[in-house]
């Protein structure tokens, strides 16, 4: 294949356009070097001479983590349309697929900062499925990071990590960091000696690119039986180019609000604790250690009291159902707290923990990192980290200031004084795709109804079929008026339970987690049976289920005029088991597909998506395997929609899960363009009608969380008021 290898260096990544320093084009084993601004015209001329060739003669561009090169070329005056018209082959894409799960690539040779070669090996099978970050507990039972066993160190994702693992090439990390600092801090003012060193440094990167690409391509081609070939790699590489274009646009931020929060970090933290402790004294003061003080903490720190938390669990009689750590202490992670969020104290504690977790990035020492990423135009620019998850999603770093990844109460920090911010959201996309990938018509009918959770509840007969849901309220189908408060609450509770089941099945929840999730969604006290161990409840036999949902319901009625599922004498595991049986009965095709996809993965050792992204051998959790086609297809659609939007001339500030956010000075026109681009992506990936998945388009005032509007939220009001006091009244 005809290729060129390309690498560049620049500074000013926080600005609208980076400032080029140098570039190297390698063609036919010859390096062509360029120093800027001296060689700018020569570079443009040479580049166009190559890229303006007919398509059949035009070389493909090999570069590692192509978003940087995309930003460089944009600064040189090339348009996004031109960048996306060229063929890019990024070894990073393949390296990410190989190292996400395949143990032969996830572990291996690596070169330490101390200049020592080491080899990591996969952990024992019993340790698979754990969070890759190892955790331990302090004296209060709080989770803290523990360094992973170096024997099981996962290989890094960078160019030098790949070169070390594949070719045993030694990389002097100290030299690399020195050169990066020289380029960034010099800002164009370099001596002749420094110029020569920078050019040599740039050439060191480019000479291995072709060899690395061929090696990794051979591996992925073999691992996927040819499913992931050059066209697929090129398509995935195009998305990394799109990420570079989006990074250039940047996320507009209200710098004054940002600094207000940063300067008031400790008062905000103190008030959050005070409000939470008014509900129940879970937090206590502890003197900071020397290491903590060196890290920037105050003399006294607020910590969670394990004794107080344990006392609260005992008072509420949650003990037998509450999950515990390996050391026997009650878990306090977000997933566990969310399952019990029907309790007001737990809900407030959960939101306090989340709020503290996000504002920790605004501590003085952490806030400096965020400020460095804000340009002179008050826009935040940081790496969007494409393909960071197994399903191919972006995972930008929150510690670098990615506000979209933080709690929603921080969204008002995203603001543009001139342009309008618009968000396009694929509504409940995972539910639609569960039906599409499995070919389950009933799943698709549930999604087409507008509210799949209400549809599910009504088909089973658990919810009356004379109501429908609109704007978060249940209304009578005949009068179109809201139903009475009692029925409103009943329908809300039932819908919450069925939503927990639909989403829980999609994310692979087991029966115990479903029981906890349903209990939380009902916001009721646990029954006496719920306090017993789950062992007997989980193995208890269910009523005989009929083929029709109505007959299923009738077979378990015990109280005339009411379903037993609304009665407290039935345990949470029993309710979860019943709802799960409903799911199996109604969505039979989905469950048949799930069995087939697991069999296919274990037989072929990989699964592939529309644009070539793959899940390779090594994933041992059935839930993750079955979830991959759903979440992965959603990621495919988003990637295609992003590319469509860029080619249509829209200014995307960031993708976020199933959303695309843009800035515009022509709201009505760009709304239509955004919707068209998103619908076209659905049709391209799914081969269905563009209307298959609903799309919600909202402007800043309605799709951003504002502090004033959140004061009406019952469970979160206290937390928001504390934050609002500092974020609103102090400007």
CATH of the domain at 28: 3.30.420.10
Looking at residue 161, its pLDDT comes to: 94
Mean pLDDT computed over 54-83 = 96
Looking at residue 572, its pLDDT comes to: 59
Q: 200-232, pLDDT tens digit by residue?
A: 999 998 999 999 999 999 999 999 999 999 999
Residues 673 and 713 in one domain: no
Residues 189 and 57 in one domain: yes
**pLDDT over threshold 70, residue 193:** yes
Residues 298 and 413 in one domain: yes
What pLDDT band is residue 147 in, cutting at 50, 70 and 90?
A: low
What pLDDT band is residue 34 in, cutting at 50, 70 and 90?
A: very high
Q: State the total domains in the chain.
A: 4
Looking at residue 320, its pLDDT comes to: 73
Dig out the tokens for 333 from the structure: 């992670």
pTM of this structure: 0.84
Q: 316-331, pLDDT tens digit by residue?
A: 878 777 888 877 888 8
Residues 244 and 261 in one domain: no
Do 40 and 53 contact (CB within 8 A), yes or no?
no
Mean pLDDT computed over 24-35 = 94
As a whole number of angstroms, the distance between CA 522 and CA 615 comes to 36
Q: What is the 3-state secondary structure (H, E, C) of 300-320?
A: EEEEECHHHHHHHHHHHCCCC
Q: What single DSSP character describes residue 412? A: G
Q: What is the 3-state secondary structure (H, E, C) of 701-718?
A: HHHCCCHHHHCCCCCCHH
Which residues make beta-bridge pairs with 61?
A: 4, 88
**pLDDT over threshold 50, residue 233:** yes
Looking at residue 563, its pLDDT comes to: 41
Is residue 167 one of the residues assigned to a domain?
Answer: yes
Looking at residue 347, its pLDDT comes to: 86
Residues 349 and 492 in one domain: no
Kindly compute the dihedral angle of the four CA atoms of residues 604, 610, 612, 617, in this order, to the nearest 10 degrees: -30
In Å, how far from its chain's centre is CA 582? 30
Q: What single DSSP character describes residue 399? A: G
As a whole number of angstroms, the distance between CA 359 and CA 369 comes to 14
Q: Give strand ranges (E) for 90-249.
A: 109-111, 117-119, 135-137, 143-145
Residue ending a domain, choose from 199, 226, 248? 248
Is residue 229 one of the residues assigned to a domain?
Answer: yes
CA separation (Å) from 475 to 427, 465, 599? Answer: 21, 11, 44
Q: 515-545, pLDDT tens digit by residue?
A: 656 655 443 333 333 333 222 223 233 333 2
Looking at residue 515, its pLDDT comes to: 66
Please compute, for residue 77, the number of CA atoms within 13 A of its CA located in the half-sphere on the CB side: 7
Residue ending a domain, choose from 529, 558, 586? 586
**pLDDT over threshold 70, residue 510:** no
Is residue 525 one of the residues assigned to a domain?
Answer: yes
Q: 361-373, pLDDT tens digit by residue?
A: 888 777 888 999 9
Looking at residue 357, its pLDDT comes to: 82
Structural domain boundaries, residue 352? 255-418+706-727
Q: What single DSSP character describes residue 118? A: E
Residues 607 and 555 in one domain: no
CA separation (Å) from 559 to 462, 556, 566, 582? Answer: 13, 9, 10, 20
**pLDDT over threshold 90, residue 127:** no
* 3-class secondary structure, 363: coil
Provide the pairing of β-strand 30-35 with 88-89: unpaired
Q: At what angle do helices 588-604 and 622-647 cross, to 10 degrees?
A: 90
Dig out the tokens for 388 from the structure: 């960071």
Looking at residue 701, its pLDDT comes to: 61
Residue ending a domain, choose from 204, 223, 248? 248
Is residue 30 one of the residues assigned to a domain?
Answer: yes
Looking at residue 413, its pLDDT comes to: 86
Choose between 394 and 698: higher pLDDT.
Answer: 394
> Which residues contact residue 544 at a Cβ distance below 8 angstroms, ignoring those fewer than 6 apart?
555
**pLDDT over threshold 70, residue 588:** yes
Looking at residue 303, its pLDDT comes to: 86
Percent of the chain whose predicted confidence (pLDDT) is above 90: 52
**pLDDT over threshold 50, residue 133:** no
By the 10 Å C-beta count (0-12 exposed, 13-18 middle, 19+ buried), 248 is classed as buried
Choose between 577 and 588: higher pLDDT.
Answer: 588
Q: What single DSSP character describes residue 7? A: E
Residues 272 and 413 in one domain: yes
As a whole number of angstroms, the distance between CA 635 and CA 433 comes to 11
* 3-class secondary structure, 323: coil
Is residue 138 one of the residues assigned to a domain?
Answer: no
Mean pLDDT computed over 610-618 = 94
Looking at residue 681, its pLDDT comes to: 96
Mean pLDDT computed over 330-336 = 84
Looking at residue 517, its pLDDT comes to: 61
Q: What average pLDDT is seen over the chain?
A: 83
For residue 135, how many other CB atoms are within 10 A of its CB? 14
As a whole number of angstroms, the distance between CA 364 and CA 128 comes to 37
Residues 503 and 388 in one domain: no
**pLDDT over threshold 90, residue 426:** yes
**pLDDT over threshold 80, residue 10:** yes
Which residues make beta-bridge pairs with 479?
A: none
Looking at residue 361, its pLDDT comes to: 82
Looking at residue 286, its pLDDT comes to: 85
What pLDDT band is residue 723 in, cutting at 50, 70 and 90?
A: low
Choose between 197 and 288: higher pLDDT.
Answer: 197
Do 341 and 520 contact (CB within 8 A), yes or no?
yes
Which residue shows structure tokens 């501590």? 363
Mean pLDDT computed over 90-95 = 98
Residues 391 and 453 in one domain: no
Do 573 and 534 contact (CB within 8 A), yes or no?
yes
> Which residues contact residue 700 at a Cβ distance below 8 angstroms, ignoring those fewer than 6 apart?
415, 420, 421, 422
Residues 571 and 476 in one domain: yes
Mean pLDDT computed over 143-167 = 82
Mean pLDDT lowest for which of 13-22, 418-427, 647-656, 706-715? 706-715
As a whole number of angstroms, the distance between CA 206 and CA 26 comes to 7
Q: What single DSSP character describes residue 324? A: B
Mean pLDDT computed over 604-610 = 95
Is residue 125 one of the residues assigned to a domain?
Answer: no
Kindly compute the dihedral angle of the four CA atoms of residues 624, 630, 636, 637, in this order, to the nearest 10 degrees: -150
Provide the pairing of β-strand 300-304 with 379-380: unpaired
Residues 32 and 66 in one domain: yes
**pLDDT over threshold 90, residue 641:** yes
Q: In what order do the strands lie in the sheet with 3-11?
A: 30-35, 19-27, 3-11, 60-62, 88-89
Looking at residue 128, its pLDDT comes to: 40
Q: What kind and span of H or E run contains 660?
A: strand 659-664
Looking at residue 139, its pLDDT comes to: 44
By the 10 Å C-beta count (0-12 exposed, 13-18 middle, 19+ buried), 314 is classed as exposed
CA separation (Å) from 297 to 75, 140, 289? Answer: 41, 18, 9
Looking at residue 561, its pLDDT comes to: 30
Provide, for the chain, the percentages of residues in helix, strand and coil under a 3-state DSSP scheme, each rounded to the nearest 5.
Answer: 50, 15, 35
CB-based contacts of 290-297 (< 8 A; 24+ apart in sequence): 295/365, 296/363, 296/364, 296/365
As a whole number of angstroms, the distance between CA 481 and CA 142 comes to 48
As a whole number of angstroms, the distance between CA 642 and CA 661 comes to 10
Which residues make beta-bridge pairs with 219?
A: none
Is residue 405 one of the residues assigned to a domain?
Answer: yes
Residues 185 and 53 in one domain: yes
Provide the pairing of β-strand 88-89 with 60-62: parallel
Is residue 472 one of the residues assigned to a domain?
Answer: yes
Q: 672-684, pLDDT tens digit by residue?
A: 999 999 999 999 9
CA separation (Å) from 472 to 34, 248, 468, 469, 704? Answer: 59, 38, 10, 6, 18
């Amino acid at each position: 294949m005809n290729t060129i290898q390309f690498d560049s260096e620049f500074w000013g990544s926080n600005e609208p356009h980076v400032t080029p320093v140098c570039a190297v084009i390698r063609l036919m084993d010859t390096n062509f070097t360029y120093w800027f601004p001296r060689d700018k015209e020569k570079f443009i001329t040479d580049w166009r001479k190559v890229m303006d060739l007919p398509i059949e003669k035009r070389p493909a561009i090999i570069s590692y983590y192509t978003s940087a090169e995309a930003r460089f070329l944009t600064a040189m005056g090339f348009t996004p349309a031109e960048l996306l018209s060229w063929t890019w082959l990024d070894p990073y894409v393949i390296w990410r697929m190989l190292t996400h799960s395949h143990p032969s690539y996830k572990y291996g040779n690596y070169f330490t900062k101390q200049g020592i070669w080491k080899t990591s090996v996969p952990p024992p099978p019993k340790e698979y499925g754990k969070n890759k970050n190892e955790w331990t507990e302090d004296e209060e039972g709080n989770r803290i990071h523990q360094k992973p066993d170096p024997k099981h160190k996962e290989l890094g994702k960078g160019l030098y990590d790949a070169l070390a693992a594949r070719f045993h090439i030694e990389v002097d990390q100290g030299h690399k960091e020195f050169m990066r600092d020289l380029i960034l801090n010099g800002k164009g003012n370099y001596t002749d000696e420094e110029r020569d060193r920078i050019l040599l440094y740039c050439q060191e990167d480019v000479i291995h690119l072709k060899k690395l690409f061929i090696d990794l391509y051979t591996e992925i081609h073999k691992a996927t039986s040819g499913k992931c070939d050059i066209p697929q790699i090129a398509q995935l590489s195009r998305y990394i180019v799109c990420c570079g274009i989006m990074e250039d646009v940047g996320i507009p931020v209200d710098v004054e609000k940002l600094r207000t929060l940063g300067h008031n970090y400790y008062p905000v933290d103190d008030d959050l604790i005070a409000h939470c402790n008014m509900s129940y004294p879970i937090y206590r003061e502890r003197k900071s250690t020397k290491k903590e003080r060196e890290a920037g903490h105050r003399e006294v720190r607020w910590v969670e009291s394990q004794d107080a938390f344990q006392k609260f669990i005992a008072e509420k009689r949650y003990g037998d159902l509450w999950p515990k750590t390996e050391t026997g202490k009650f878990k306090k992670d977000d997933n566990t707290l969310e399952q019990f969020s029907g309790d007001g104290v737990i809900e407030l504690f959960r939101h306090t923990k989340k709020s503290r977790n996000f504002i920790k990035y605004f501590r003085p020492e952490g806030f400096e990192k965020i400020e460095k990423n804000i340009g002179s135009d008050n826009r935040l620019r940081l790496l969007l980290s494409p393909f960071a998850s197994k399903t191919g999603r972006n995972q930008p770093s929150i510690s670098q200031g990615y506000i979209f990844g933080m709690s929603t109460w921080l969204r008002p920090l995203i603001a543009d004084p001139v342009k309008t911010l618009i968000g396009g959201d694929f509504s409940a996309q995972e539910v639609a795709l569960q039906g599409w990938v499995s070919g389950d018509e009933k799943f698709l009918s549930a999604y087409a109804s507008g509210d799949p959770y209400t549809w599910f509840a009504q088909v089973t007969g658990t919810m009356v079929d004379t109501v429908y849901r609109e704007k978060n309220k249940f209304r009578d189908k005949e009068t179109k008026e809201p139903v009475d408060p009692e029925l409103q609450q009943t329908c809300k509770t039932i819908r919450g339970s069925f939503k927990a089941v639909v989403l829980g099945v999609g994310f692979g929840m087991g029966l115990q987690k479903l029981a906890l999730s349903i209990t939380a969604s009902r916001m009721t006290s646990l029954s006496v049976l719920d306090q017993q161990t789950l062992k007997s409840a989980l193995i208890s036999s269910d009523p005989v289920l009929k083929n029709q949902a109505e007959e299923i319901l009738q077979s378990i009625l015990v109280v005339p005029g009411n379903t037993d599922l609304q009665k407290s004498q039935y345990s949470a595991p029993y309710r979860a088991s019943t709802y799960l049986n409903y799911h199996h009965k109604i969505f039979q095709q989905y469950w048949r597909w799930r069995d087939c996809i697991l069999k296919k993965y274990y037989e072929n050792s990989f699964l592939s998506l529309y644009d070539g992204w793959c899940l390779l051998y090594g994933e041992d959790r059935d839930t993750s395997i079955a979830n991959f086609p759903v979440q992965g297809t959603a990621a495919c659609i988003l990637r295609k929609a992003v590319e469509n939007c860029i080619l249509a001339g829209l200014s995307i500030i960031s993708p976020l899960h199933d959303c695309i956010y843009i800035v515009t000075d022509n709201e009505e026109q760009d709304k239509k363009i955004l919707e068209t681009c998103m619908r076209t992506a659905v049709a391209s990936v799914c081969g269905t009608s563009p209307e298959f998945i609903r799309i919600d388009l909202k402007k800043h005032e309605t799709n951003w969380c504002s502090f004033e509007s959140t004061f009406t939220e019952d469970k979160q009001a206290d937390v928001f008021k504390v934050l609002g006091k500092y974020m609103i009244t102090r400007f």
